[in-house]
Amino acid sequence: MPFVRSGHGLVFKEPLGVVLGIAPSNAPIILGLRAVVAPIAAGNVAILKMSSSLFSKTHGNTIGWIDPQTHYLLASLFRKAGFPPGVLNFLLHRPEDASEIFNTLINHSAVKKCNFTGSAHVGRIIASQAALALKPILLELGGKNFTVVLDDADLDLAAEEITRGAFLNNGQICMSTDKVLVTATVAPVLEAKILAMLDSIRSMPVLISTAAKAKVEMLVSDARDEGARIHTPAIVNHNDTSDRSFPPTVVTGLTPQMKQFEIESFGPMVGIMVVETEVQIKSMIKEAKYGLSGSIISRNICRSLELAQSIKAGAVHINSMTLHGEPTLPYGGYGDSGWGRFGAHLGMEEFVQTKVVTLHP
């Protein structure tokens, strides 16, 4: 590096040490690997810990496990590939011990950083505990992701991308499309196209837990009470239904007074809100607490790029759904969606520290 006085400046990137990765259940292979591969590739060793959300309450006071074998498989693959013992460590615990175990780990002198993927509620707890230990963290939290449909949009494309984004993996993805903001001039046609696609769905989504189903039911009930219209397919296959089943649902007539306007559903539902002008859309987006992912459907790319730059979100996808993941691109959120980035070279930078050495011959 340039050096102002006689000599030379060197910049080294060094591993941190031990990195704790806490991964969720909704995409266990992808997100489990993401929690540990970049830290190890950067020269660290890692601990893969399952999120406490991987445990769910069943009937009464019984605690039921959500099968941890996928995360165990990932740890086993490192061992089978020949990594030395201790490079990747796999940790299981009871849900009631989650807080104590995290505190023990984050306060241990060997643990230098934590990355966590999960809810904003748990993310706040982890951030506060890590702050007391003066340990950095990388947080990828929830999202209330929206698709903006402008008046010059290809409405067939918009309906297809919104439907895919809302119901893929039963809506249980942090990038799922939760909300649609559409200009009034094209709203009736767009709604008709989305409802036609909804009516063609025959499968019955199943959620991760009965608590997840109860949350979606609450959001639908509140929206109905506030005057929204609730749409589900006329015919769905009920052969595989369970106490966690919930039909794909479209809420029309969404308003800011409804809980679904701000609360992440994490289920197979999407709300459509009609907005008069693009200025109003920008105002609503500016006030949003979450900032993980968004999308814009418009034939005018320059107009879309200008709008995308005004959106405080980690990713904005033009003429595509809100779900989009590329290993060559950084990924993370703004605001209540967390901070830091996974993926690409920025993801590697998260797990090294910078040291300057000057040479004076």
Catalytic amino acids?
A: 140, 174
Q: Which residues contact 105 (CB under 8 A, 6 or more apart)?
A: 20, 47, 49, 111, 114
Question: Cα-flanking dihedrals φ and ψ of residue 269, to 5°?
Answer: -145, 150
Q: Among 345, 322, 22, 330, which residue's Cα sits nearest to residue 143?
A: 322
The CA distance from 179 to 144, in Å, is 7
| Nearest-10 crossing angle of helices 120-132, 98-106 | 40
The CA distance from 107 to 133, in Å, is 6
Question: Cα-flanking dihedrals φ and ψ of residue 16, to 5°?
Answer: -80, -40
DSSP 276-314: S-HHHHHHHHHT-SEESEEEEE-S-HHHHHHHHHHS-SS
**Quick one: tokens of 101?**
């175990």
For tokens 């909804």, name the residue. 198
For 319, the enclosing helix (H) or strand (E) is none
162 alpha carbon, distance to own chain's centre: 17
Question: Cα-flanking dihedrals φ and ψ of residue 294, to 5°?
Answer: -155, 170
